[in-house]
Structure 1
């Protein structure tokens, strides 16, 4: 992994990181750059742009690995849907490189830029610490391990989470904006969730629930080489690239444009109040508090999701005909989550007859009636994970819930003597169906019923004691 410090300044930091200019300017070095006015401001802007680029890599690829989306054409990774994850896969390296670049840029900002700029504010430092923490969270959630420094020792997810907590504590202490503090606190709750520390996760999640509609989003810039790639694949492309699992059709597309594509790039919500409720509910159900779980999930529906934005959207051009499969349903048919499930209506939308209603932040078809009907731990665990899937769709979260992790890339191995053979193997739990089974379905045109091959939330619950999943059950 190459260091991202020396001579990275492409036509000046304000230009390369903010405006995305294309040519390198060898006359602008780090020493020159650090003497410019308001260097912390321009560096932080560049960090936010790198956040956008990192999210593009994370979301596009992890959504393909998961059961959320199928690559119905050929432009993106062709084996992640299997799922097949090789250390030599170019996309594995691209994801790792984006995360490592985000981490190194935040470190450089904190160790060098802020010292060179006497006008740096505590809030700017807080934002840099937060971004640093987020890079370590991604490292831990998405990879079996990653170096914590350039060409350094491969750190375990737990080690990355420990670094993230330290950085978040710094960020929270420096941040003066109450909403930003709450967002940082929610990320801290997620880290303790990832660590399986129920007591700490509950403490921080509960504190965030005082701000139920908390929302932190990453913006994109279609005019300066920082477009929302997932929006392109879901909506803006003239060819249908990605197709959702039919039972998730009602949530697609979360990102879209109604005006000029370059000027209408939708943001990604990557920290939102819904997560705090889901963390608390999972802790409650894991400890046998079924009544408390039901109360929390119902509050999530009424106090948060019901108040999120829903838009009316014309999606008449959607044909799901990217080419790899041509049997995606295009009208309002019924679905079965698997062969044993009942027939359900409202999951596949008829996009040709009228506008569709789309949840831009969070949506779910889980209802209070469904919650009341769940009378066992397994039934409520199932609803928690079904809601996590529906609420976080198109945000790059589902792969982690399935217990899948990327390996260290071959490029890192070739440049870093600290990488061991064990680091080069992906984590794919034994219960994950192969041969594209997670995305598979049958479409019975005669009966008008589409049946999923697997209900992966049912599969997860059936394997709830597996070490890769359900952090509070093990």
Structure 2
């Protein structure tokens, strides 16, 4: 039982949080399957007598977690992975230094809502853990652990994506390191939820530059499940996969991949497509990075090769792709397997990176893939080449899973509403402006997304013939990351 004061707080929490707290049917952690509430006119007396409140509220946390992951993943449009074409996403988000608080000021599940969804998940998890669980002595430990995992994920995403953010309503903004420390505490408390908590620990420790702790957590995952994958599904009617709208469903697909990443797109093909949140490949990549940073080249090669091998075993889905690969001005982008691409003017041209589109039965990876080969890792002649392969592997294997923003060192500002309403925050304070490392180019505009030549086809009609087959990317950001020792373990 819970007391009346807590019941009143619970009702306020439901009213304030909206649909996320109205999803009161228990669902498996591998699916989002919300159902309606039979009696929305819940009274204080009902709640005071309610049993199994923790269990009843977990679906709301699961749903909000799914919403946050949606927004977090779409934020990759700010990086070199995608460029923006269409009206569904503000085009200024293609330039990280232009991402001001008014651009991330929505409550939706696209990139513009990432801040709100992070804070909403944190607030809902706070409520369950700090208010509901203490008054629910029968709360199953595994569900309490799950709630800690979700709160940990809110803090992990907060620390990864934002430089400063408050940890409570109207609180003073805290640095990203503080958010990551909070995440670690919750993941330790949430270890009973499964290996995904250990995988998240590895990510948090990596971002803090703690090589020993990151390696321990990554090894814990791999020793228990060498092919581990945690990828919650979505519901095609009630809680859909947001990236699919921009990759597949809209008439002009707003998110277009960098040409050398074309073979990975679209990673998600249906409204119910699962989004990988944690997987063994990332653990191998973290261990490879730890080894490289400590000078252990042999171990780095072994883990990098293991990540590449496992990525190649994940398989593909078949998809009828109607995407004509058009820019916003309707000119045609690379869309033929005859095209070869190089990462910059100093790199070799590589085949096999661009698929034929539109096309029926297109095979696309829905978990992991990479253009690297495991047997080629051993032939890399220098440590810098290994670092380059590591950054490329992270970019490709973790494609459209949200990591690229942090890998580039970019952090977004808080939403404008937070700045305007929180008395502890003023314009110009830490966290109110984007943080973009000086090595991220801003000249010319959209520098990370540019390739040449632009005129690859003789015209813009769907059947226009291909006239240029060699494409050069303006800048290889993986080479830039190597040159700037961008690994958290090198700080």
TM-score scaled to structure 2, two decimals?
0.86
After superposition, residues 37-76 of structure 1 pair within 5 angstroms as: 37-60=51-74, 62-76=75-89
**Structure 1 residues 461 and 9, CA gap change in structure 2 (3 angstroms):** closer
What secondary structure, in the 3-state scheme, does the structure 1 residue paired with 2:318 have?
strand
Check the 8 A contact 1:4/1:101 in 2, yes or no: no
**Structure 1 residues 19 and 31, CA gap change in structure 2 (3 angstroms):** farther
- Deviation of the 1:141 alpha carbon: 0.3
Q: Which moved more, 1:84-93 or 1:413-422?
A: 84-93
2:383 aligned partner: 377
What secondary structure, in the 3-state scheme, does the structure 2 residue paired with 1:88 have?
helix
Aligned-residue Cα RMSD (Å) equals 2.4
**Structure 1 residues 389 and 237, CA gap change in structure 2 (3 angstroms):** same
Indicate yes or no: 2:472 matched with 1:451.
Answer: yes
- Deviation of the 1:102 alpha carbon: 0.1
- How far apart, in 2, do the equivalents of 1:86 and 1:12 lie? 27
Indicate yes or no: 2:282 matched with 1:275.
Answer: yes
Check the 8 A contact 2:344/2:474 in 1, yes or no: yes
Check the 8 A contact 2:316/2:365 in 1, yes or no: yes
- How far apart, in 1, do the equivalents of 2:320 and 2:17 lie? 42
Q: Which moved more, 1:338-347 or 1:318-327?
A: 318-327
- How far apart, in 2, do the equivalents of 1:368 and 1:12 lie? 43
- Deviation of the 1:382 alpha carbon: 0.6
After superposition, residues 392-431 of structure 1 pair within 5 angstroms as: 392-420=398-426, 421-423=428-430, 424-431=432-439
1:330 aligned partner: 335
1:96 aligned partner: 115
Q: Which moved more, 1:342-351 or 1:10-19?
A: 10-19
Unpaired runs of 5+ residues, structure 1, are 258-263
Indicate yes or no: 2:377 matched with 1:368.
Answer: no
- Deviation of the 1:355 alpha carbon: 2.6
- How far apart, in 2, do the equivalents of 1:138 and 1:50 lie? 13
**Which of 283, 287, 292 is the aligned partner of 1:285?**
292
Check the 8 A contact 1:110/1:129 in 2, yes or no: yes
- Deviation of the 1:15 alpha carbon: 4.7
- Deviation of the 1:75 alpha carbon: 1.2
What secondary structure, in the 3-state scheme, does the structure 1 residue paired with 2:94 have?
coil
1:433 aligned partner: 441
What secondary structure, in the 3-state scheme, does the structure 2 residue paired with 1:314 have?
strand
Unpaired runs of 5+ residues, structure 2, are 1-10, 26-32, 457-466
1:442 aligned partner: 452
Indicate yes or no: 2:317 matched with 1:296.
Answer: no
1:79 aligned partner: 92
2:273 aligned partner: 266
What secondary structure, in the 3-state scheme, does the structure 2 residue paired with 1:184 have?
helix
1:208 aligned partner: 221
- How far apart, in 1, do the equivalents of 2:401 and 2:241 lie? 12
**Structure 1 residues 32 and 432, CA gap change in structure 2 (3 angstroms):** farther
TM-score scaled to structure 1, two decimals?
0.89
Number of equivalences = 450
What secondary structure, in the 3-state scheme, does the structure 2 residue paired with 1:312 have?
strand
What secondary structure, in the 3-state scheme, does the structure 1 residue paired with 2:93 have?
coil
**Structure 1 residues 12 and 143, CA gap change in structure 2 (3 angstroms):** closer
What secondary structure, in the 3-state scheme, does the structure 1 residue paired with 2:278 have?
strand
1:230 aligned partner: 243
1:462 aligned partner: 483
Indicate yes or no: 2:173 matched with 1:166.
Answer: no
- How far apart, in 2, do the equivalents of 1:70 and 1:364 lie? 20
Check the 8 A contact 2:94/2:446 in 1, yes or no: yes
What secondary structure, in the 3-state scheme, does the structure 1 residue paired with 2:317 have?
strand
**Structure 1 residues 11 and 250, CA gap change in structure 2 (3 angstroms):** closer
- Deviation of the 1:372 alpha carbon: 2.2
Check the 8 A contact 2:20/2:61 in 1, yes or no: no
**Which of 198, 218, 221 is the aligned partner of 2:211?**
198
2:28 aligned partner: none
